[in-house]
Structure 1
């Protein structure tokens, strides 16, 4: 698969045609998982998200594919960025609004009211990538690509036990980052949220 990816990204049409059936089902699963967290009535459909992400991935000539896990993690990132871009466009001119309490895990579910949260979360993830690249990669692999700890550990070449600690650290770090966001209120006194 890696050699097909490299050939396809260099413009080899036969490699693109050979690659597509091998990755279609997994990309469809990723797109469906992303769209399941989106608001009702979203204008993008999973198939459209899949195709847009595939085109961006395959047209990218600056990625040196290192394997299947790398491809799917990158695909999840591209899909997330497509949806964030869509949310930003949708929110243009709709600034403000009331605060609402949202758990970190629920922040990934999109509704028109939560689009500012998704944008804040995307910005926090960009900061996490600078602060701790492995923790960022873990969030990409675990949450957005749907890999297990064991699969992510193989992709990142570390133990699943280490990644479980990284996961807890990443969740706490993201929550602290988002506490200051106007769209993501502070934790209450009981520590819920």
Structure 2
């Protein structure tokens, strides 16, 4: 858990970044860098993906820093946006690997060939991304909880604090999200 004294500098840096200070976003990201590496490491370990932890964190930063202006309001919001960016990086990577299988000069994958760890992880990430999009249309907060748990690697207590809800509400939403995902999977 992060103390209020740790959160204040990140919040101030994010306010400066929203005001146009180019270096402030980098400083805010540096302040949460170790947390992000921990989240990425646990995610990649669970997926058995070949993606490197540091590369995932850096790619997520590039997604946040490029394009649209940053909307993060505080440390928790930055961590949540970073988890979403990690998800997007992994989904993009999985799609690219899947596209390579269809015509990237690779040997064709047959029905009898087994999927390697990276290929299986790519399929898993793409399937989860589709399920999360469906869940997001039904229950946005439940989708955010799944995203933070699965892609961010955060505990229930950390997620409840990030979202400003009680642990009990989080557990109820988590059960509802799991039930939805299992029903969609047909399990």
What TM-score do you get using the length of structure 2 for normalisation?
0.77
- Structure 1 residue aligned with 2:34, among 25, 47, 61? 25
Match 2:173 to one of 148, 156, 166: 166
Distance 2:166 2:182 in 1: 24
Deviation at 1:6, TM superposition (A): 3.6
Per-residue CA deviation, residues 36-88 of structure 1 (Å, 9 max, x unaligned), is: 23446x2x321111111112113353442222111111111111111111111
TM-score (norm 1): 0.74
1: CA distance, partners of 2:147 / 2:124: 18
Unaligned runs of 5+ in 1: 101-109, 180-186, 188-193
**Greater helix content:** 2
2:46 alignment counterpart: 37
**Is 1:142 matched up with 2:149?**
yes
Residues in 1 aligned to 2:26 and 2:140: alpha-carbon distance in whole angstroms: 33
Q: Which runs of 4+ in 1 moved over 6 A?
A: none
CA RMSD of aligned residues (A): 2.5
What is the aligned partner in structure 2 of residue 13 from structure 1?
22
Aligned length: 168
Q: Does the 8 Å CA contact 1:2/1:67 hold for their aligned counterparts?
A: yes
Counterpart Cα distance in 1 of 2:20 and 2:132: 31
